[in-house]
């Protein structure tokens, strides 16, 4: 069955640069916290127009560190969506906080109109997930957050380079959290993440939490040792080899995004006359199409017919998190009804979309899909 995504094509194009960069990183004598880290943090912040930012071990850890920096923990509640990757939820519960799931709109994003009725005295933050490559309605979300004194922590894992009203995601709330998992728009060949933040004080706190709470004190305190923790932290280091790869790939990210947008346009042109519900783009957004997700109530039949043609597609995500056994223990989740979320989960699926997808494969797949759609 056709495997549409592989990092190998991209790697083969960049292989010599990557190998030389990794070799340089290893020869430097620093596995962690070396020149590649400083270079990447500076370049990513410059690209994303972020005030402050730090690289961490993963996107999940980015969310966790951001929440801990804002003192979110046991007894607190965090509002987010159930139509997201599990790490969004696991990061929240790892802090000891409780998740308050709200429904989505027709863009597959958090519905701001559903947020207010879920706020109570325990609510401490909102995590809008910029799913599939498109920003949430941040003006409405920030207005609600200001009214109720809540933190806004953006989950930007699928939206590197996306914009809302001309501004990059990750700069719209109190903090932004990114993932560099290999399938992401900017991906390493391992794990990695990033946190952008507006406050210098919070940035410094996040740096401490990233590395066991350790930070050398100033001369006045007469302490320069490595083994003194100023507060509770975790190990969320990202190594110099992955950073050397990211430094190379960051230079390619605009080209990657342009190719994704081009493929998305091709799908729209070719599939607009089918019964598929194609992505609905908010007029305020620059959609970067981490995924091209469509909807059809006869998904099972479509998959069955495509399978006969040797094509297998993926679903992001087939099960809402509030329906999963791992999260049904949370208050009210067993009785929780999220109408749009549950409806969409039964019909959404994603079409092949990545920069190395050849026009030949794209055309062949689209013809197969159109043929199936005409038959149902």
Question: Would the pLDDT of 219 be above 70?
Answer: no
How far is Cα of residue 319 from the mean position of the Cα atoms in its chain?
18
User: Which SS3 state, helix, strand or coil, does residue 78 take?
Assistant: strand
Question: Would the pLDDT of 216 be above 80?
Answer: no
pLDDT (tens digit, 9 = 90+) per residue, 175-194? Answer: 999 999 999 999 999 999 99
Which domains occur in the chain, in start order?
A: 8-250 (3.40.640.10), 253-375 (3.90.1150.10)
DSSP 8-class letter at 319: S
% residues pLDDT > 70 (the chain): 95
Q: How confident is the model at residue 2 (pLDDT cuts 50, 70, 90)?
A: low
Question: What pLDDT shows up at residue 111?
Answer: 98
Residue 29 Ramachandran class (φ > 0 left, ψ -120 to 50 alpha, else beta): left
Question: Would the pLDDT of 307 be above 50?
Answer: yes
DSSP 8-class letter at 168: E
* Pairing mode, strands 77-81 and 123-126: parallel
Is 355 within 8 Å of 259 (Cβ atoms)? yes
Q: How confident is the model at residue 280 (pLDDT cuts 50, 70, 90)?
A: very high
Average pLDDT, the chain: 94
When comparing pLDDT for 364 and 219, which is higher?
364
* DSSP secondary structure string for all residues of 102-158: E-B-TTSSB-GGGTGGG--TTEEEE--B-GGG----HHHHHHHHHHHT-EEEEE-TT
Is 268 within 8 Å of 278 (Cβ atoms)? yes
**What tokens does 268 get?**
């729209």
Which has the closest alpha carbon to 193: 205, 209, 176? Answer: 176
**What tokens does 135 get?**
């920003």
Residue 58 CB partners (closer than 8 Å, separation 6+) = 87, 179, 181, 191, 192, 193, 236
Residue 1 CB partners (closer than 8 Å, separation 6+) = 307, 310, 311, 312
When comparing pLDDT for 224 and 371, which is higher?
371
Which has the closest alpha carbon to 313: 304, 325, 322? Answer: 304
pTM for the whole structure = 0.95
Task: Give whole-number Cα distances, 287 to 155, 205, 347, in Å.
Answer: 15, 32, 21
Separation of alpha carbons 130 and 137, rounded Å = 9
pLDDT (tens digit, 9 = 90+) per residue, 145-172? Answer: 999 999 999 999 999 999 999 999 999 9
pLDDT (tens digit, 9 = 90+) per residue, 317-352? Answer: 999 999 999 998 776 666 899 999 999 999 999 999
What is the pLDDT averaged over residues 273-289? 97
Question: Would the pLDDT of 304 be above 60?
Answer: yes
For residue 345, what is the enclosing H or E element? helix 339-345
Question: Would the pLDDT of 221 be above 50?
Answer: no
pLDDT (tens digit, 9 = 90+) per residue, 101-142? Answer: 999 999 999 999 999 999 999 999 999 999 999 999 999 999
When comparing pLDDT for 138 and 214, which is higher?
138
Using only the alpha carbons of the chain, give its radius of gyration. Answer: 21
Question: What pLDDT shows up at residue 328?
Answer: 81
CA 267, 269, 271 angle in degrees (round to 5)?
60
Question: What pLDDT shows up at residue 350?
Answer: 97
If 0-12 CB within 10 Å is exposed, 13-18 middle and 19+ buried, where does residue 71 land?
exposed
Maximum Cα–Cα distance across the chain = 77
- Count of Cβ atoms closer than 10 Å to residue 233 Cβ: 20
Question: What pLDDT shows up at residue 128?
Answer: 98
pLDDT (tens digit, 9 = 90+) per residue, 25-57? Answer: 999 999 999 999 999 999 999 999 999 999 999
Task: Give whole-number Cα distances, 151 to 77, 85, 111, 196, in Å.
Answer: 11, 21, 17, 14
């Amino acid at each position: 069955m056709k495997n549409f995504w592989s990092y190998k094509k991209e790697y083969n194009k960049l292989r010599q640069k990557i190998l030389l960069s990794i070799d340089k990183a290893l020869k430097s004598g620093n596995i962690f916290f070396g020149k590649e880290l400083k270079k990447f943090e500076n370049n990513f912040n410059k690209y994303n127009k972020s005030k402050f930012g730090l690289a961490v071990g993963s996107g999940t850890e980015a969310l966790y560190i951001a929440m801990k920096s804002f003192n979110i923990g046991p007894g607190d509640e965090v509002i987010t969506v159930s139509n997201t990757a599990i790490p969004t939820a696991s990061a929240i519960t790892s802090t000891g906080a409780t998740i308050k799931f709200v429904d989505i709109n027709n863009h597959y994003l958090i519905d701001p109109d559903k947020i207010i009725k879920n706020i109570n005295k325990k609510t401490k933050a909102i995590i809008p997930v910029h799913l599939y490559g498109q920003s949430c309605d941040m003006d409405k979300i920030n207005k609600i957050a200001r009214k109720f004194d809540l933190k806004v922590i953006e989950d930007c894992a699928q939206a590197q380079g996306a914009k809302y009203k001309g501004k990059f995601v990750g700069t719209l709330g109190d903090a932004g959290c990114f993932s560099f998992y290999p399938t992401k728009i900017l991906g390493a060949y391992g794990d990695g993440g990033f946190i952008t933040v507006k406050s210098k004080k919070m940035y410094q706190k996040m740096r401490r939490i990233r590395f066991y709470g350790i930070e050398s004190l100033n001369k006045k305190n007469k302490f320069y040792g490595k083994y003194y923790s100023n507060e509770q932290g975790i190990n969320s280091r990202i190594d110099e080899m992955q950073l050397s790869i990211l430094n190379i790939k960051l230079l390619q990210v605009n080209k990657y995004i342009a190719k994704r947008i081009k493929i998305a346009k091709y799908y729209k042109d070719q599939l607009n006359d089918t019964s598929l519900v194609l992505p609905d783009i908010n007029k305020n957004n620059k959609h970067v199409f981490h995924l091209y997700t469509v909807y059809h109530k006869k998904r099972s039949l479509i998959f069955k017919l495509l399978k006969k043609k040797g094509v297998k597609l993926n679903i992001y995500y087939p099960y809402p998190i509030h329906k999963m056994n791992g999260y049904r223990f949370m208050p009210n989740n067993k009785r929780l009804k999220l109408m749009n979320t549950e409806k969409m989960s039964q019909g959404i699926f994603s079409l092949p979309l990545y920069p190395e997808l050849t026009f030949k494969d794209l055309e062949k797949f689209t013809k197969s899909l159109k043929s199936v759609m005409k038959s149902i």
